[in-house]
């Protein structure tokens, strides 16, 4: 019987959503599986995971966004980037080339009204049977939660940032 892939969500305000997805990527790669990471709404900074990804076969990595923007004047531009990024994600999902696709920070697309939720849900529902998808991001919409097989919420108990400690290389990026 063909493997049944799952839809998994990592949400909540605590640290660990993207890095937990990367742990699963590591696990899948260890079994020789093919993985695709698509990052929405992230800048082009030197993230350690991206630098490492360049050295790994079986892992395709795409960056769509240009950084978090909550500036009204740039909303149209952001929307365009989000639409292009999601078109790429839909293409990669439908390609049936992968065992695991990570849609990192996808929750911001519907939450900021960059994309209609129905369009995203439709694409997720039409995924190839064997494919697992991990979605990360704060405030996962209920439509995602309903569709998913597994949902984890990471709660902040405390975070170094609250004590004035800035983002650190190798830990936050």
**Contact residues for ligand ATP, defined by CB under 6 A:** 13-19, 105, 136, 138, 156, 159, 161, 167, 172-173
**Is the CB of 68 or the CB of 126 nearer to ligand ATP?**
68
Report d(CA 75, CA 92) in Å as an integer: 25
Q: Which does 16 bind (CB under 5 to 8 A by kind): ligand ATP, Mg ion, none?
A: ligand ATP
Helix H or strand E encompassing 87: helix 75-94
State the burial class of residue 75 (Cβ atoms within 10 Å of its Cβ: 0-12, 13-18, 19+).
middle
Query: In the structure encoding, which two tokens stand for residue 70, read together?
Result: 């909550």
State the burial class of residue 38 (Cβ atoms within 10 Å of its Cβ: 0-12, 13-18, 19+).
buried
CB of 113 to ligand ATP, least distance (A): 19
Report d(CA 95, CA 9) in Å as an integer: 22
Q: Which does 13 bind (CB under 5 to 8 A by kind): Mg ion, ligand ATP, none?
A: ligand ATP
Rg (CA), the chain: 16
Q: Which does 173 bind (CB under 5 to 8 A by kind): ligand ATP, Mg ion, none?
A: ligand ATP
CA atoms within 13 Å, Cβ hemisphere of 172: 9
Q: Which does 19 bind (CB under 5 to 8 A by kind): Mg ion, ligand ATP, none?
A: ligand ATP
Task: Build a one-symbol-per-residue string for 18-37: x at contacts with Mg ion by CB under 5 A, - elsewhere.
Answer: x-------------------
Q: Binding to Mg ion by residue 17, rule CB under 5 A?
A: yes
CB of 105 to ligand ATP, least distance (A): 6
CB of 136 to ligand ATP, least distance (A): 6
Binding site for Mg ion (CB under 5 A): 17-18
């Amino acid at each position: 019987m063909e493997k049944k892939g799952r839809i998994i969500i990592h949400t909540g305000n605590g640290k660990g959503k993207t890095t937990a997805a990367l742990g699963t990527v590591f696990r899948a790669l260890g079994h020789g599986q093919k993985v695709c990471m698509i990052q929405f709404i992230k800048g082009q900074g030197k993230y350690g995971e991206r630098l490492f990804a360049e050295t790994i076969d079986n892992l395709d990595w795409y960056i769509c966004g240009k950084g978090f923007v909550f500036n009204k004047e740039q909303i149209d531009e952001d929307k365009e980037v989000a639409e292009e990024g999601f078109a790429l994600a839909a293409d990669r999902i439908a390609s049936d080339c992968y065992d695991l696709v990570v849609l990192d920070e996808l929750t911001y697309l519907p939450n900021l009204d960059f994309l209609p939720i129905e369009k995203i849900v439709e694409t997720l529902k039409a995924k190839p049977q064997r494919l697992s998808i991990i979605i990360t991001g704060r405030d996962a919409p209920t439509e995602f939660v309903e569709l998913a097989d597994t949902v984890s919420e990471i709660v902040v108990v405390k975070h170094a940032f609250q004590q004035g400690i800035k983002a650190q290389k190798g830990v936050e990026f």
